[in-house]
Homo-oligomer: A and B are copies of this chain.
Amino acid sequence: MRQSLFFSKTRREAPRDEVAKNAQLLIRAGYVHKEMAGVYDFLPLGLRTLKKIENIIREEMNAIGGQEVLLSSLQDPAPWQASGRWDDTVMDVWFKTRLHHGEAFHQGSELGLANTHEEPMVRMMKHHIASHKDLPQYVYQFQTKFRNEVRAKSGVMRTREFVMKDLYSFSRDEREFRAFYEQVAAAYLKVFARCGLGAWTFRTFASGGSFSKFSDEFQTVCEAGEDVIYVDEEKRIAVNEEVYRDEILREIGLEKARLQKKKAVEVGNIFPLGTKYSTALGLTYKNEEGENVPVYMGSYGIGPARVMGTIAERYADEKGLVWPLSVAPFALHLVRLGEEEGVRECADALYTRLQKGGMEVLYDDRPHLHAGEKLSDSDLLGIPCRLVVGNRGIADGVVEWVERQTGSVRQLPIEEAASLLLDPDAGVMPKI
């Protein structure tokens, strides 16, 4: 993509009301635009990174048998009334709206905006599950959630509107449920590892619900986090402070002395639901004995934008964003310094070859910008590798390759540069 044609612009300053580091950087680098408090738009760079994170999650959900669907955002109150969660005092994050009633605006029936999807999902599954032969089923979606948060101050990590990957499991019994639950836990750790957060992310004991003493959170240690956890680095397990009590530590076999207190971001959670919603909404199946029994459920969430914000927080440095290759909007930033014909020709030729070779390249072909501006923009954007084509290098027959995260620099002979970059075994480009 030629940057001269690309819809992207860096800014010197983030909006004054933006307090979160992730959003400040993402706004300055042109990844997101702030629509209002807790509501962000994704610009082309941000959308590319968001979609890469979504695709990593999608691949791992498909690998464990997940089936992708898309439920509506507008929600009928009926199943929520049946479960007892329609009331604002029970669920305090509802956004609600109203249908027209003929000419009377907003005087018709009340509707909800999805803040989660258990109830409509269970009601929909009643058309698909009748017998034990119809189970298990693992259904997920990437769909917008609306949450009426009173405060939204963590940038893209806690917003009033965000896409969530939510998966729901429908199993015959607790044993079948548990086996899948552990598969999801393993898949989640893979997702966070692939997104570059593996080293800092811990499966974390948290409080459960009516059907389970505990739920499992996936917490990434990060100064910007809203949660506090206690981490056993060696066992790679953590405990949320909400269940950090002596009796519970004994129960789960953790030693207080080995735990370190950390701030963390909840990047995912998995939750045993038991038969709470299936009982409330009448989702039953006929078992092998011919009895109708409620389906055993679990739910499993990851917010891709929160993952994006966490990566931004963990990797950024004083110069700007830094993306792991797996989620970077482009793999390579080709930066042309200078307008001389030789420089243009060399950079254009490299761009064409790298594009044809299948590399995702952002090519800074913008004219009339100082080298300093181009390089500081490039630092701010945080694309993992940079290739600088300038007059001085050309005189020496080289282009300069720079790794954004480490700052390490290599001179590549012009003639060999493209093939070295395109060869995954040449040791120039990092591996995903």
Contacts and interface: CB of A to CB of B under 8 A. Distances in A.
B113 A97 contact: yes
A224 to B, nearest CB: 22
Interface stretch (A34-42, A263-271, A399-407): A34-42
Interface in A82-105: 88, 92, 94-100, 102, 105
B35 A47 contact: no
A160 B113 CA distance: 13
Given A7-B67, A11-B127, A88 B105 contact: yes
B71 A41 contact: yes
Given A73-B73, A106-B96, A68 B44 contact: yes
Interface string A120-158: 100010011000001001010000101011100000000
Contacts of A47: 68-70
Nearest to A1: B67
Contacts of A111: 95
A262 interface: no
A170 to B, nearest CB: 10
B71 A7 contact: no
Interface in A36-88: 36, 39-44, 47, 50, 65, 67-76, 88
Interface string A1-43: 0000111010100000000000000000000010110011111
Given A44-B67, A70-B41, A106-B88, A33 B127 contact: yes
Contact of A7 (B41, B100, B139): B139
Contact of A72 (B40, B50, B71, B98): B40
Contacts of A33: 124, 127
Contacts of A241: none
Given A33-B127, A92-B105, A69 B97 contact: no
Interface string A346-378: 000000000000000000000000000000000
Contact of A161 (B36, B73, B149): B73
B99 A65 contact: no
Task: Report the copy number of this chain in the oligomer.
Answer: 2
Contacts of A9: 127-128, 134
A152 to B, nearest CB: 10
Nearest to A105: B88
A257 to B, nearest CB: 41
A99 B139 contact: no
A35 B71 contact: yes
Interface in A370-397: none
B161 A74 contact: yes
A73 B96 CA distance: 14
Contacts of A75: 35
Contact of A39 (B72, B144, B148, B161): B72
A154 to B, nearest CB: 17
Contact of A35 (B7, B44, B113, B120): B120
Contacts of A105: 88, 92, 94, 148
Contacts of A76: 35-36, 39
Nearest to A70: B42
Nearest to A94: B105
Nearest to A44: B67
Q: Which of A5, A111, A120, A134 has the most CB of B within 10 A?
A: A111
A368 to B, nearest CB: 9
6 smallest beta-carbon distances between A and B, as pairs: A7-B67, A88-B105, A42-B70, A41-B71, A95-B97, A97-B97
Given A35-B74, A94-B105, 6 more contacts: A7-B139, A35-B120, A44-B68, A50-B70, A73-B146, A74-B95
28 contacts: A5-B65, A7-B69, A7-B137, A9-B134, A33-B124, A33-B127, A35-B72, A35-B75, A35-B120, A35-B124, A36-B76, A39-B72, A41-B69, A41-B72, A41-B120, A42-B69, A42-B70, A44-B67, A73-B146, A74-B161, A88-B105, A88-B106, A92-B100, A92-B105, A95-B98, A100-B150, A106-B148, A144-B144
